Amino acid sequence: MEKITLTITTIFIILIILAGLYVLLTYNRLITLRNRVKEAWSDIEVQMKRRYDLIPNFVETVKGYASHEKNTLSDVIKARNTAMQNMGNISDKAQAENALSGTLKSLFALSENYPNLKANQNFLELQRELADTENKIQSSRRFYNSNVLAINTKLELFPSNIIGSVFGFRKHDLFKLDDTEQGAKKPVKVSFCLFCLL
């Protein structure tokens, strides 16, 4: 009888130790994932700051050649300032950043109308740096979103979701494109009108 009690007690202790180890390992994994999300967001912020710093020089260069394009230039500066001041949630930040990217595209398009600007070495260098920064932001965004997906999945799976809620872990928002940019990637719908051809 003592052997059976000792065996049951031993099994019970082993189960408690295994459960404790699982909780410990899951907690540490969630901490690791949360820190990766923070690191990934920090990478995005570094690239956005770099872009914010480049924009005034870019606008000044364009202003020298296309001074009557004041609306476009002021839209870029306004979008930059809005993006810099936006400290809201990830989705608000994404919208502000996407608006800024849209105004930058219109500024790049101006160069087509001004051959002297297009040939300016300073303009070309700033354009290259901004394009490089945009690519780095996209890369950082993908890295951030993959880390967010990892922690959100872990927080939804059983039993790690229980451990996550007990220790106060929360799901994170993805840093995604706004509807206007996504809409631009949809295929163009073409319809033919027979009566229009007659």
Radius of gyration, CA atoms only, the chain: 27
Alpha-carbon separation of residue 89 from 38, 94, 173, 179 (angstroms): 14, 9, 8, 17
pLDDT surpasses 60 at 150: yes
* CA–CA gap between residue 34 and residue 2 (Å, rounded): 47
For residue 159, whether the previous peptide bond is cis, meaning omega lies within 30 degrees of 0, is yes
Judged by average pLDDT, the poorest of 7-21, 51-65, 111-125 is 111-125
**What dihedral angle (degrees, nearest 10) is formed by the CA atoms of 133, 135, 141, 147?**
-110
Closest C-alpha among 109, 103, 57 to residue 80: 103
Say if CB 141 and CB 121 are below 8 A apart.
no
- What the block records as the tokens of 178 is 């706004």
Q: In the prediction, which pLDDT does 198 show?
A: 40
Q: Are 130 and 58 in contact (CB under 8 A)?
A: yes
12-21, 29-38, 103-112: least confident range: 103-112
State the Cα–Cα distance between residues 135 and 129, nearest whole angstrom: 10
Q: Which pTM was predicted?
A: 0.75
Q: What is the pLDDT of residues 46-69, one digit of tens each?
A: 999 999 998 888 888 887 777 667
Report whether the peptide linkage leading into residue 115 is cis, meaning its omega lies within 30 degrees of zero. no
Residue 161 has pLDDT above 70, yes or no: yes
Residue from 177, 175, 172 nearest 33 by CA = 172
Which CATH number applies to 2-171? 1.20.1440.20
